[in-house]
Chain A
């Protein structure tokens, strides 16, 4: 078999094999069970609680969880604005990069705060090392927030009837110390050995093969890149993100970075199963997500490896695949694979230019973000998937003649209202954002590099990426303008917090309800039949909401090509 294909299969299998035990470990961490990490992190955590005065043993209701979550985010936002707008006055700025403008700082702060990392600046020229370090901190804590939010849901279904859902700070801090940090350290060690820079010195100069002297940006890259992936953040140290040779130097780093971004979303599914002691349910989730993943990724890899027929027609050798915008050291297959993983799990880091992909590959990347629940971002993926499960439970419950119930809890009007609002928010943000950008061509369309269908895809992609908190760009878009900074900033905020608040509220409400033991008439949610139902709900909702937009973008482009 083709080595390129073997390479991507290996990445998937390794992730799965590592994800299973990691899931078990994560379940133990959140369950408060003993792990071998206790002696290392226990004292550090206790110290942090001591200086911050937080009582991590206090049980919280779902509302208290949300209050804690939103407060902590607000504090980071304010700090972030202060850092990014004053980098000239702060240390660690060897290249003398300038302060960010208010709207760019707003966009960047929010973007990193919501674990999206849409970047309207370039790392080489737009930010100091101190700024980068601050963003690195945000990459840790926002991933921790997403995981902590997911654990609130774990807790809601572990106990039969309860209002006490654990302590938010406990979940949050443990996510950072016990999970994100250790994995990042392992990943960083490998990357450093593959030649990734790790320095506070400014730009280096070198003479290239043409004899020109060029300046090469560098910095604490090896510290930054691991959490960018492990936390499914995706914000690049350099503008070119994972396509940059210093940010992703070899095929091996490409594999390591791939596994690093894929592993926690996958492990969280299994952790859910271990935590609530319903492993079969976790496999159902894994099954649905994997089927969705394969449906998107296989055509992408195939189309990218096959290359652009228009180029073949011109008599140009296309045997390497559609290599425009791709790195030769990574290749078409691994790029195509990455493009779907990164959009699906909301990392948004790229190792090739999505703008250059075949039209239908670009569509699949869009669909991955429009669904946003196949694996999904750390924590956030489960939250999004949970909404689809609630909708599927409701419809299928009716279909078998019983008031719908999930994990022994009845789904009633209040839960449906919240679930529908969350499900609506995503298409609303994407479509309304895109509509506004197309309705005001001086703000939106004028910044496009490409006219026509492809230009439309670029706008659609930008807002989809924002709403899905993905952060990757189709690029080809002059996006550092007031319009783009503010509009995507708002969408980022809503796209982050609505899908956190909604599911936690539903889980909290369900947790308070009386537990109904499973009987013969109860619809089991851990079967392949139910999995099929969830998949159908996801597919139909995504297809129905976005089909017209996709028809005018990538689909029209595809049919125009042939």
Chain B
């Protein structure tokens, strides 16, 4: 799927234009108090126009009144269009994801074939090589390689199998080999994507807490200007200044923060949309907003900080043990070890295990309890595993654990490596050194996070020494070593008790409680259903560094709101200098002194201000949709920068804009 989409595609434009009119419905408009008052103003102007047509003479010409009416109407349309285009873009993005999974035949277990749309939660279907998976679900039997490029854009196939943390499949992806039996986990129309689309479309979109607070601020400003405009009537009467209804409404509409009022919901939708573009499905707008506030980021070491997996780099035999003996034991124990570590041991040894000619080997699988794996054949028992696990095995048999091995283990750990101890018949043979490879460029990303004020925490099953080494090398601020799932939870609770917001990423079922506890929990799409239910975002790319992007999207969202609010309010200064002299000049010629822009006539001044007020909305739509760029330069510097651009700029731009429009408008008057 392409992430490149131009801002204004033709189809989207048409759709949005239509919606701009639909949204004029006062019931919908009422959600946005600022624009709702503009709608009332427009309505009043319509009545004034009719009144003038019926012969009223004190309100100015019909042409003038009608122009004001038209511009106000356009202001409404522009604001609606901003929201509509944001919705259309979000929907288009979501649709393109959804399309991949529509109309796929689903082979039920009983042999019947139905359409994917008919699948219900709990149905069980079968997929074989070449099939497109009809729905999200969980593998209950089998293993398969799957091409997920339709969703993630990543071409390398992935393995999914029943049980464990890699059992989840996504509708629209393709089975490349083998056969799996899958249970449907969501009701039709209730998948995360469906929820997201509903959020974007506005059906279930709720204002986020921050949006509510901002709406209160904007409503407050609107009220101030209602007071200002209404009280101006008796003031003007006192000064014997006649002010037309068109002027009153123009003054009011120009002063209330229509720019931010018109763009506010578009900004929120665009935030979710940007998340979707980054292939992250958010379950609520609030989650995106919270992401911007994150103080602590919990990252798994493997896959995030280090490249995939560790590689074996050395064999260290114990004293009195020949190197070949250790290598042989290491290779044999790794024969059926499908983990990348196991494979790398055989690679390092460069021996084909078959050449050892072992007969009837029984493989001992790795379990969380034994924390070791190995092989039994004849009377030989080879084990390979974590140091303390093997030490236990050796000690239980009453054998001594060589001090040299102990020494070696520590040395490896200190250098950031992971030691694996090999034993044969409960005697330690030596150590295999595994080394982590830190992802290129990760240090810079952590540096950026630090500048954003976010503390990074590496979570790893490694021992503290190894963890410390990697943590320092990668530049994370803290680490949790020998982490058990409940450690994550504990850490999150601790940080939260100190008032910090925590984000984490996880995939396994045992991550689910921590994902739920975290303020922002991003579940990988490849993760279990439980993990996806627990988090508030799902990352389709399964990319653990995605959290960093999500945080920036959240910050951008808030910043766009803040900067456009500032811009909108700062604009009022120039609008005042355009309208106030225009209102009074005829009756009080002395106030010409306030007409610092030297606008042509009162009518042209008022029209210019209203026109500027209207067209600034479409001008700012691209910014609202793309978001204001976040720079990690520290909060105060960022505030200075944005104050300069949007505050000072917001004061100056309308002076230029209104003057320019006035020069054009006065040609027609």
A binding-site residues for B, Cβ under 8 Å: 391, 394-403, 408, 411-413, 415-417, 420-421, 423-424, 427-428, 431-432, 434-436, 438-439, 441, 445, 452-453, 456, 514-517, 519-524, 527, 529-530, 532-533, 536, 540-541, 543-545, 547-549, 551-552, 555-556, 558-560, 562
Among residues of A, the one whose C-beta sits closest to the C-beta of B296 is: A519
Q: In the bound complex, how far is the Cα of B255 from the Cα of A541, in angstroms?
A: 12
Among residues of B, the one whose C-beta sits closest to the C-beta of A544 is: B572
Choose from B231, B234, B453, B558 the contact partner of A520 (Cβ within 8 Å): B453
Asked if B235 and A395 sit within 8 Å, CB to CB, the answer is no
Q: In the bound complex, how far is the Cα of B635 from the Cα of A533, in angstroms?
A: 13
Q: Which residues of A contact B569 (CB under 8 A)?
A: 540, 544
Flag the segment in B210-218, B396-404, B459-467 that touches A: B210-218
Q: In the bound complex, how far is the Cα of B453 from the Cα of A515, in angstroms?
A: 17
With A403-B293, A543-B573 known as contacts, the answer to whether A434 contacts B216 (CB < 8 A) is no
Asked if B220 and A552 sit within 8 Å, CB to CB, the answer is no
Instruction: Tell me if B239 is interfacial: C-beta within 8 Å of chain A.
Output: yes
| 28 A–B contacts, CB within 8 A, in A order | A394-B217, A397-B558, A398-B563, A399-B562, A400-B559, A400-B635, A400-B639, A402-B558, A413-B213, A420-B223, A424-B223, A432-B227, A435-B230, A438-B238, A520-B450, A520-B452, A522-B635, A523-B639, A524-B636, A540-B573, A544-B228, A545-B227, A547-B576, A548-B235, A552-B584, A552-B588, A555-B594, A556-B588
Asked if B235 and A456 sit within 8 Å, CB to CB, the answer is yes
Among residues of A, the one whose C-beta sits closest to the C-beta of B630 is: A401
Among residues of A, the one whose C-beta sits closest to the C-beta of B552 is: A401
Q: In the bound complex, how far is the Cα of B238 from the Cα of A445, in angstroms?
A: 9
Q: In the bound complex, how far is the Cα of B217 from the Cα of A305, in angstroms?
A: 42
Instruction: Tell me if B237 is interfacial: C-beta within 8 Å of chain A.
Output: yes
Q: Which residues of B contact A540 (CB under 8 A)?
A: 569-570, 572-573
Asked if A435 and B500 sit within 8 Å, CB to CB, the answer is no
Distance in Å: Cβ of B138 to nearest Cβ of chain A: 36
Q: Which residues of B contact A402 (CB under 8 A)?
A: 292-293, 555, 558, 635
With A403-B210, A412-B213 known as contacts, the answer to whether A397 contacts B562 (CB < 8 A) is yes
* Contact flags B431-449 to A (C-beta < 8 A → 1, else 0): 0000000000000000000
Instruction: Tell me if B232 is interfacial: C-beta within 8 Å of chain A.
Output: yes
Q: Which residues of A contact B236 (CB under 8 A)?
A: 552
Choose from B212, B224, B235, B635 the contact partner of A549 (Cβ within 8 Å): B235
Asked if B643 and A399 sit within 8 Å, CB to CB, the answer is yes
B binding-site residues for A, Cβ under 8 Å: 209-210, 212-214, 216-217, 219-220, 223-225, 227-228, 230-239, 241, 255, 289, 292-293, 295, 450-455, 498-500, 554-559, 561-563, 565-566, 569-570, 572-573, 576, 580, 583-584, 588, 590-594, 630, 634-636, 638-640, 642-643, 646-647
Pairs of residues from A and B, 4 with the lowest C-beta to C-beta distance, nearest first: A521-B453, A398-B562, A401-B555, A520-B453
Q: In the bound complex, how far is the Cα of B199 from the Cα of A449, in angstroms?
A: 63
Q: Which residues of A contact B230 (CB under 8 A)?
A: 435
Asked if B227 and A399 sit within 8 Å, CB to CB, the answer is no
Q: Which residues of A contact B213 (CB under 8 A)?
A: 394, 411-413, 415-416
Choose from B554, B559, B590, B593 the contact partner of A399 (Cβ within 8 Å): B559
Q: Which residues of A contact B225 (CB under 8 A)?
A: 544
Asked if B590 and A527 sit within 8 Å, CB to CB, the answer is no
Q: In the bound complex, how far is the Cα of B583 from the Cα of A213, in angstroms?
A: 56
Asked if A417 and B216 sit within 8 Å, CB to CB, the answer is yes
Distance in Å: Cβ of B232 to nearest Cβ of chain A: 5
With A431-B231, A551-B594 known as contacts, the answer to whether A413 contacts B238 (CB < 8 A) is no
Q: Which residues of A contact B642 (CB under 8 A)?
A: 399-400
With A398-B565, A420-B220, A533-B639 known as contacts, the answer to whether A428 contacts B227 (CB < 8 A) is yes
Further 12 A-B residue pairs, CB within 8 A, beyond A400-B639, A401-B554, A423-B220: A395-B565, A401-B555, A402-B558, A424-B220, A439-B237, A520-B452, A530-B639, A540-B572, A548-B583, A549-B231, A551-B594, A559-B592
Asked if B635 and A556 sit within 8 Å, CB to CB, the answer is no
Q: Which residues of A contact B646 (CB under 8 A)?
A: 399
Q: Which residues of A contact B292 (CB under 8 A)?
A: 401-403
Q: In the bound complex, how far is the Cα of B495 from the Cα of A517, in angstroms?
A: 11
Q: Which residues of B contact A521 (CB under 8 A)?
A: 295, 452-454, 635
With A399-B642, A402-B292, A420-B217 known as contacts, the answer to whether A522 contacts B591 (CB < 8 A) is no
Q: Which residues of B contact A420 (CB under 8 A)?
A: 216-217, 219-220, 223
Asked if A517 and B239 sit within 8 Å, CB to CB, the answer is no
Q: Which residues of B contact A516 (CB under 8 A)?
A: 295, 499-500
Q: Which residues of B contact A529 (CB under 8 A)?
A: 636, 639-640, 643
Distance in Å: Cβ of A462 to nearest Cβ of chain B: 14
Distance in Å: Cβ of B285 to nearest Cβ of chain A: 14
Q: In the bound complex, how far is the Cα of B231 from the Cα of A439, in angstroms?
A: 9
Asked if B638 and A434 sit within 8 Å, CB to CB, the answer is no
Interface core residue of B219, B588, B639, B640 (most chain A CB under 10 Å): B639
Q: Which residues of B contact A439 (CB under 8 A)?
A: 234, 237
Distance in Å: Cβ of A224 to nearest Cβ of chain B: 37
Asked if A396 and B562 sit within 8 Å, CB to CB, the answer is yes
Q: In the bound complex, how far is the Cα of B237 from the Cα of A38, in angstroms?
A: 60
Q: Which residues of B contact A556 (CB under 8 A)?
A: 239, 584, 588, 590-591
Interface core residue of A400, A408, A555 (most chain B CB under 10 Å): A400
